[in-house]
C-alpha cells in the first residue's frame, strides 16, 4: 500500500501550537481564485488531511494548523484549521506562520507584509534581530460589535457580547459563568454551553444582516486575563489574536479604550499579547475598528508525517 508524506514546520505562539503544512497536499486540492476559495476546495476534497494532521495520533484535541498558499493579492496566502474544521482568521496562527516562513527564508524578511486570509487582507509588521523574528504585529480585518445576547443559566443570566473580529466571538465575563480563569479546563463546558445558547438565539451581523454564527467564546476577567474556547472544546493557550481584537473592539465601543491606547491581554498559560485600536470609522451606523495585535512565536520543530495506506485506524480525539 502506498505511503503519503506531509512535511510541516510547527510553532507555538504564547504556548498555542500552529502546525504549518509545507508539502504533501495535492495541487488540485488548493485550486481557486481567492484564499477563501482555496480553503473551501481543500475542505471539500482533502479534509482528511486536516483530520490526519490535527487529530490523534499525530495531533491532539487542542491542535491548530495553517496552510500557506500562493496568492496574487498579497505576499502570502494562508488558511487556518483545527480539530473540527476551519476558522476564517487566526492571530496566533498568523504570527506563527510569518515567524516560521521568514526564519526559513520562504518569505522576505521585510518589515511590512500583506497576508490574504479567508477573512480578507491583513497587514503584518515583522520585527527581526540577528536573523530571527522577535515580534509580529497584524492589523486585523474590520471588526465591530454585533449584538448582546442574554443567556439564561442555572446560576443566573449571562450577557454575551457578539463581536466580529475575523471570526464571530461571544465575549462574556468569566464571573457571570461562575468560573475563575485560574483553571482553563474549567472554562470548557460553560463556554460550549454558552456558544450553543448564543447560536440558538441566531445573532446577526449588523453590516450584512446575515447570520453571525459564533465560532469561539472568550471568557474575560477585569485584570486583563482571558481564555478562548473554540472548535469542540479546544482551549487557546495564547491570549488569542482575534479574541484580543474582539476585546479591543468592545472596550472601544464601551468608551473604555481610546484610539491608540494600548492594552496587554494575558492567556491561560501566562503569555501576553499587546493590542490597540489603530483607527475607527462609522459605516451605515456601525462603528468599525482596525485592531492591531502583536506577539511572539517560536519554531518548535519540523516533521515528516506519514499516511500509510495499511493503517485503517483513522483520526480521533480524546478529551
Residues in contact with ligand PYC by CB under 6 A are 16, 64, 87, 90-92, 216, 230, 236, 238, 240-243
Check if 240 is active-site: yes
Question: Is omega for the bond preceding 208 within 30 degrees of 0, making it cis?
Answer: no
Catalytic residue among 90, 146, 227, 245: 90
Nearer to ligand PYC, 60 or 307 (CB): 60
Nearer to ligand PYC, 206 or 243 (CB): 243
| Cell (9 digits) for 293 | 495585535
Question: Whole-number minimum distance, CB 106 to ligand PYC, in Å?
Answer: 21
In this structure, are residues 274 and 291 in contact, taking their beta carbons and an 8 Å threshold? no
* Smallest separation, CB 301 to ligand PYC (Å): 20
Shortest distance, position 208 Cβ to ligand PYC, whole Å: 21
Interacting residues of 217 by C-beta distance below 8 A, sequence separation 6+? 160, 169, 170, 171, 172, 191, 192, 194, 195, 228, 229, 230
Contact (CB, 8 A) for 294 and 272 = no
Q: Which is nearer to ligand PYC, 24 or 184 (CB)?
A: 184
Burial per residue of 268-282, b for 16 or more beta-carbon CB atoms within 10 angstroms, e otherwise: beebbbbbbbbebee
Judged by CB, which is closer to ligand PYC: 24, or 172? 172
Alpha-helical regions (H) of the chain: 35-45, 47-54, 91-104, 188-200, 241-253
42 vs 86 by CB, closer to ligand PYC: 86
DSSP string, 266-287: E-TTS-EEEEEEEEEEEETTEE
Catalytic residue selected from 146, 187, 240, 245 = 240
Q: Which residues are catalytic?
A: 90, 240
Amino acid at each position: 500500500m502506498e505511503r503519503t508524506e506531509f512535511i510541516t514546520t510547527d510553532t507555538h505562539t504564547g504556548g498555542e501550537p500552529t502546525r504549518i503544512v509545507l508539502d504533501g497536499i495535492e495541487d488540485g486540492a488548493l485550486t481557486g481564485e481567492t484564499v477563501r476559495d482555496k480553503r473551501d476546495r481543500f475542505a471539500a476534497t482533502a479534509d482528511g488531511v486536516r483530520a490526519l494532521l490535527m487529530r490523534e495520533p499525530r495531533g491532539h484535541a487542542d491542535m491548530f494548523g495553517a496552510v500557506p498558499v500562493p496568492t496574487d493579492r498579497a505576499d502570502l496566502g494562508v488558511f487556518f484549521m483545527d480539530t473540527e474544521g476551519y476558522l476564517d482568521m487566526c492571530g496566533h496562527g498568523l504570527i506563527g506562520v510569518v515567524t516560521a516562513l521568514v526564519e526559513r527564508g520562504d518569505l522576505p524578511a521585510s518589515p511590512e507584509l500583506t497576508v490574504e486570509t479567508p477573512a480578507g487582507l491583513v497587514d503584518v509588521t515583522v520585527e527581526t534581530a540577528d536573523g530571527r523574528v522577535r515580534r509580529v504585529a497584524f492589523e486585523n480585518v474590520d471588526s465591530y460589535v454585533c449584538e448582546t445576547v442574554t443567556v439564561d443559566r442555572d446560576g443566573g443570566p449571562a450577557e454575551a457580547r457578539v463581536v466580529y473580529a475575523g471570526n464571530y466571538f461571544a465575549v462574556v465575563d468569566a464571573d457571570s459563568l461562575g468560573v475563575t480563569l485560574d483553571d482553563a479546563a474549567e472554562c470548557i463546558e460553560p463556554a460550549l454551553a454558552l456558544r450553543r445558547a448564543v447560536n440558538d438565539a441566531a445573532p446577526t451581523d449588523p453590516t450584512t444582516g446575515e447570520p453571525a454564527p459564533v465560532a469561539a467564546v472568550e471568557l474575560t476577567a477585569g485584570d486583563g486575563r482571558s481564555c478562548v474556547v473554540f472548535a469542540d472544546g479546544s482551549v487557546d493557550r495564547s491570549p488569542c489574536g482575534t479574541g484580543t481584537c474582539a476585546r479591543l473592539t468592545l472596550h472601544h465601543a464601551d468608551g473604555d479604550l481610546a484610539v491608540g491606547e494600548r492594552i496587554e491581554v494575558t492567556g491561560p498559560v501566562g503569555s501576553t499579547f499587546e493590542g490597540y485600536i489603530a483607527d475607527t470609522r462609522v459605516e451605515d451606523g456601525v462603528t468599525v475598528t482596525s485592531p492591531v495585535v502583536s506577539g511572539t512565536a517560536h519554531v518548535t520543530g519540523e516533521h515528516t508525517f506519514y499516511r500509510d495506506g495499511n493503517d485503517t485506524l483513522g483520526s480521533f480525539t480524546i478529551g
